[in-house]
Structure 1
Amino acid sequence: MNLVDTAPRTATSPTAALPVATASGIEAWHVESPVVPLIALAFTFEGGAAQDPEGKAGVAQMLARLLDEGAGELSSDAFQERLAARAIEMSFHAGPDSIGGSLKMLVKHADEAIDLLALALAKPRFDADAIERVRAQTIAGLRYQQNDPGVMASRRFFKEAFAGHPYGRPSSGTVESVSAITRDDLVAMHRALIGRGGIKVAAVGAIDGARLADALDRAFGRLDLAAPLKAVPQTAIQDLGRRIVVDIDVPQSVLRFGMGGVPWRDPDFIPAYVLNHVLGGGSFTSRLFQEVREKRGLAYSVGTSLVSHRACSMTWGYTATKNERVGEALTVIAEEIGRLISEGPSDEELQKAKDYLTGSYALGFDTSTKIAHQLVQIAFEGLGMDYIARRNNLVANVTQADIRRAAARTFADGKMLVVAAGRPTDF
């Protein structure tokens, strides 16, 4: 039985997060809840795949996959057996700007779980057999993805949108780059990223502040300060207005399209977020869903989202349609963007978007794990511990003037970079 997913959450409120500071200088956000005897921990370090060495894309992701493949005196098998014996869930992940992880454990196994996390972070083994196993798995996945139109469209989009920039490289690497990664590369990346200086931590569950501070010192306090990160220059989508075909012999083309955006840390992010909901982020209620799918039957799914990285932000969209209807689908998408630029949403659309976004926000906090991850993301973005309490008011107060300003910043003149993976006949 998964306690964290089934227990009532009434005793846990993410808006009641409190700061915890440890003797070694680790700072965390803490939500104490005695509802179930479980603790969820989430953490993130500054720096991710954008720090990969030139020609060796995939190092950060490979590092994340190897952190729990043996540590200290424990081989990979021994480490995993210790986790399984206590039902401890430990995972790591890497994105463009960060590497992080999570830990979930029963209170009675918390000490052992924290000790294993400390080993994984401070003393990963990087054994040759583990490296080669993870390398082989990664390469097999990359080769399989070469036949996936969605993956190929996304990869080509980022390659063209951010040509010459770290964001233009595939985070998971290529067959060639992953083949070239050495143990020394992994050790250097570990030294650069895994340090206590830039860590953000959140903990939710049946643990008080004093015990949490002690646990955090044991988990992270022995880490060195990370080495200085490489500067990642600010960038934006290149070649707006360009259309690119990735030739794949399939009856349906997968489309990826993008234009400007607003970073999460920007005051205009919330208006842009509401605007995006109206355009393509609102699932069944969005303009694109109604116009592209419901009225014309051009696609099964279509949508947009805001992407916010440290050095770039954008509006990112997706759909898939028959090769012979690609041009029609793109025309409809462009027309709806144009209407929002010139007319904006109706007052009714705006109010419905705000009602949905405020009413559904709590759904992202229905488990301890979700709360911990949300808090860490908010801390990583520097939005402040009171963001959760402020966020719905920010959404509710968005005006038509705010929407017009956000549209000017994100949509500009409506030009998009578009990549189609397939064989479109009217592109």
Structure 2
Amino acid sequence: MDAMKMIRQTGALLLTAFALAFTSLPAAAVDIEKVVSPGGVEAWLVRDAKNPIISLQYAFQGGTELDPQDKLGLAIMAASTMDEGAGDLDSQAFQGKLDDNSITLTFSAGRDGFAGQVTTLRETKDTAFDLLRLALTRPRFDNEAVERIRNQLLTSLRRSQADPNYWAQLAFGETLFPGHAYGRPQRGTAQTLAAVTRDDLVAFARTRLAREGLKVAVSGDITAAELAPLLDSLFGALPAKANLTKVADIQLAAPGKTILVPRPIPQTVMILAHGGLDRSDPDWYAATILNYVLGGGGFSSRLMDEVREKRGLTYGIGSSLQSYDHANLISVSGSTVNDKAAEAISVTKQIWGDVAKNGITEAELRDAQTYLTGSFPLQFTNNGAIAGLLLQVQRDDLGIEYLNKRNDLLNAVTISDVKRVAARLLDPAKLTTILVGQPTGITPDGTLYKP
């Protein structure tokens, strides 16, 4: 990592600490203003005049799943280079301005979107927003910066190959999403990263970033009247529509299969997964409580209690619900010593089946509702966190009143709702299992990535 970037990130941490110290938790209701610029760019705003910090976050449609097959990693490479100089400012001058004004400006590429954020003090907002405008509309992609970032990404990729979790994720994608964009390595390979050219990066910025589908969220010391014209300044020069390739929806493949990635390591990394449900599904809130009880609640979850506490088979195991634009799943991840892998997987599937058949208890329901609703205000501890929540709510199309309704929706879930969803969602026979290591007592259905 460059020294300038390290300094800038240190400044970002100081800004975050400042925000944590001076931003109070939200009141009973979150006051969200819908701001529409003269040019039609929309943003959601939570105004907070108690501290002089502004966080603006945004997301464009289309992420790493749109990378060409021969240039995987393009979106991540673009995200890593768009702050390496813009307009008349080369990388050193651009990042020097960020550092001198304690501004955080970053880009990121996810599976389904390309996002960014800027965090600034109110007194430096004009400089911050001007730098963001330049990065979005006039990124330089100087050859020196491109090659430096390419080498950093390649180095990171090589280091990852020593991590069994890296191979678990690769096998997970290839097994569950064969032939689909989700099955490809998001970070690319050494060959595909080497194939990305400066022209590819320029074309990415010109054709993939557009106003259609753009989501913007802002929290901090700025009024709606101040924000509206800034939205046109930031995003108004972008094209109306992006050039996006259509990606098909996919159902998870290989139900019930066990795939091994053999590695000479003392522990086995394991991922178990099968189909989940869409974020818009009315059963999402019952599934959220189900997941908390099953494995999302840390030491209070069934999996941690049975697999770790009672049997000592793992240091940690947990479950999660994941809803993407084109696929949904529920998964379990953890690790265990090689000679205990078969038992750990067997116990996990037993718990999966027991909850599917019998649901959860009233006490578990109450505990999950208490935790999930009571911990929710902790997500509002700073302007960056608030803006991030606003952005995710927009991306999930949950409506501007969601944050004020969310706890009521969770509290409305009944024990019969959870049992119904457990029977619908959990099927141990359909759990696809990915193992990395040299587990004993397991005969895999297939092998990937032999050393």
TM-score, length basis structure 2: 0.92
Q: Tell me if 1:292 matches 2:307.
A: yes
Provide, for residues 377-418 of structure 1, a one-character-per-residue CA deviation record: whole Å limited to 9, x for no partner.
000111001001111111111123322332234224542111
Maintained 8 Å contact 2:356/2:422: yes
Distance in 1 separating the partners of 2:129 and 2:75: 23
Distance in 1 separating the partners of 2:249 and 2:422: 21
What's 2:132 paired with? 117
Q: How many residues align?
A: 427
Report the secondary structure of 1:246's partner residue: strand
Post-superposition offset of 1:338 = 0.3
Maintained 8 Å contact 2:26/2:380: no
What's 2:356 paired with? 341
What's 1:249 paired with? 264
Provide, for residues 335-394 of structure 1, a one-character-per-residue CA deviation record: whole Å limited to 9, x for no partner.
000001110111211121111111111111111100000100000111001001111111
How do residues 59-98 of structure 1 correspond to structure 2 at under 5 angstroms?
59-98=74-113
How do residues 190-201 of structure 1 correspond to structure 2 at under 5 angstroms?
190-201=205-216
Distance in 1 separating the partners of 2:129 and 2:29: 23
- Using the aligned pairs only, state the percent identity: 40
What's 1:305 paired with? 320
Q: Which sits farther off after the overlay, 192-201 or 304-313?
A: 192-201
Q: What amino acid is aligned across from residue 85 of structure 1 in structure 2? A: D
What's 2:425 paired with? 410
How do residues 359-370 of structure 1 correspond to structure 2 at under 5 angstroms?
359-370=374-385
Maintained 8 Å contact 1:300/1:320: yes
Q: What amino acid is aligned across from residue 166 of structure 2 in structure 1? A: V
Distance in 2 separating the partners of 1:244 and 1:14: 48
**Structure 1 spans left out of the alignment, 5+ residues:** none
Report the secondary structure of 1:16's partner residue: coil
What's 2:141 paired with? 126
Maintained 8 Å contact 2:73/2:187: yes
Q: Tell me if 1:315 matches 2:337.
A: no
Distance in 2 separating the partners of 1:316 and 1:219: 39
What's 1:237 paired with? 252
TM-score, length basis structure 1: 0.97
**Structure 2 spans left out of the alignment, 5+ residues:** 1-13, 443-451
What RMSD, in angstroms, separates the aligned Cα atoms of the two structures? Answer: 1.4
Could you list the structure 1 runs, at least 4 aligned residues long, displaced by more than 3 angstroms after superposition.
Answer: 10-14
Structure 1 residues 136 and 425, CA gap change in structure 2 (3 angstroms): same
1:211 to 200, 209, 226: 226
What's 1:100 paired with? 115
Q: Tell me if 1:166 matches 2:181.
A: yes
Report the secondary structure of 2:71's partner residue: coil
Maintained 8 Å contact 1:261/1:314: yes
Distance in 2 separating the partners of 1:179 and 1:268: 44
2:43 to 28, 49, 52: 28
Q: Tell me if 1:420 matches 2:435.
A: yes
1:262 to 273, 277, 291: 277
Provide, for residues 207-242 of structure 1, a one-character-per-residue CA deviation record: whole Å limited to 9, x for no partner.
111101122221111211232321111112110111
What's 1:324 paired with? 339
Maintained 8 Å contact 2:271/2:434: yes
